[in-house]
Amino acid sequence: MEKYNIEPYDDNYSKQQFRKEEAYLRAQKKVKDMEGFYWHAAVYIIVNLFLIFIIGFNSGSFWHFGTFATPIFWGIGLLFHFLSVFGKDFIFGKNWEERKIKEYMDKEKKFWE
């Protein structure tokens, strides 16, 4: 059996290419996840409008739980899909924690100066 000669990344060019490829793959995955969420949201809207329309006209009344049960529970699932794709960065922003720490440190600055 032939032994393999595996060489580490020694030169900067190889490391840079590896990091660039990793960044590209992460970005590609993020875009695919976002695309999946947008398709999920579009299907949610179309199907649930159709269901509300059909159930509402067949039951004679739009305002009962059965009309909105599917949109409510599917909406909870859509919310979790949204959070898995966009995460806490959407709610708090990228540097929210660091900004808040700096803000509170600035408020407390008078006590140690």
* Parts of the chain with a pLDDT under 70: 1-13, 94, 110-113
Res 32: pLDDT: 95
Res 8: pLDDT: 62
Res 80: pLDDT: 94
Residue 1 tokens read as 């059996």
Res 78: pLDDT: 97
CB 9 within 8 A of CB 15: yes
Res 9: pLDDT: 58
Angstrom distance (rounded) from CA 62 to CA 76:
21
Q: 69-77 — which CB contacts under 8 Å span 24+ positions?
A: 71/44, 74/44, 74/48, 75/44
| 3-state SS string for 53-78 | HHHHHHHCCCCCHHHHHHHHHHHHHH
Of all helices (H) and strands (E), which one includes residue 2?
Answer: none
